[in-house]
Amino acid sequence: MHSPFLFDFYRSTSFSCRAKWYDQELEKFRDALLQDEEEVERIDFGAYDRKKRWYKVSSIARRSLSSKEQNAFFAAAIDYSQSKYILEVGTSLGINTLYMAKACKDGQVVTLEGDPMIAKLATMQFVKAGNGRIQLLEGEFGQTLPEALSILPRLDFVFFDGNHRFAPTWHYFQQCLSKSHEESVFVFHDIYWSPEMLKLWKEVVKSEVVTLSIDFYHFGVLFFRTNQPKQHFYLKF
């Protein structure tokens, strides 16, 4: 039996509902990043070797920014769930952060970024957008996540997109459960990015506290609603 909540959520995040969240100003920021040929030295804390390398900002943007369709989906999901306290594990260049902050209206967004250069570039986007409700914590997630959890009274919406290894991301998930509640929404990006990420996704879906999970291929969504049996779905994005 399909959950009525599932149909309501899917309808509320459908293409027609997402369309209203497309933001022309934020898309101008995205376009500027995609055209920025400046080279910066960065380190990817989510990778295995963690070596410093030089990259063009445009190259970083192409590789790390989620699409505007996904950004709008997450914004629509935040609006639908009336999420107020948002945590993002992996800021990247900040476009998705800004979309989420717009959706949570007068709420609070805490975002974590390990790479100092990426954090600097993201902060520039926040300043340009004039959004003062975003708090960026710079440093390795193992150190900044506990601080984020102490800042936010609860976790209404969590977006995991900062580490593509099983063990640390599983640990972040477990830590975030301490502030989750029945209406919380957890999103894992890039669930088919690697065998480790797929393993992680399968494990979080099996978690006893998760009652409804949706595989959209590019990302997965978890719910903790206790008034329904455990169910898992594959849906087209």
Nearest to 160 by CA among 132, 137, 127, 191: 191
Number of structural domains in the chain: 1
Q: What does DSSP say about strands 108-113 and 85-89: parallel, antiparallel, or unpaired? A: parallel
Domain range for residue 68? 4-234
pLDDT bracket for residue 45 (50, 70, 90)? low
pLDDT (tens digit per residue) in 151-200: 999 999 999 998 889 999 999 999 999 999 999 999 999 999 999 999 99
* % of the chain with per-residue pLDDT over 70: 95
CATH of the domain at 82: 3.40.50.150
pLDDT the model gives residue 54: 85
Give the residue, 216 or 162, on which the prediction is more confident.
216
CB atoms within 10 A of CB 118: 25
> How many angstroms separate the CA atoms of 170 and 189, rounded?
13
pLDDT bracket for residue 2 (50, 70, 90)? low
Q: How buried is residue 4: exposed, middle or buried, by Cβ count under 10 Å (0-12/13-18/19+)?
A: exposed
> How many angstroms separate the CA atoms of 155 and 232, rounded?
22
pLDDT the model gives residue 205: 98
Q: What is the pTM of this model?
A: 0.94
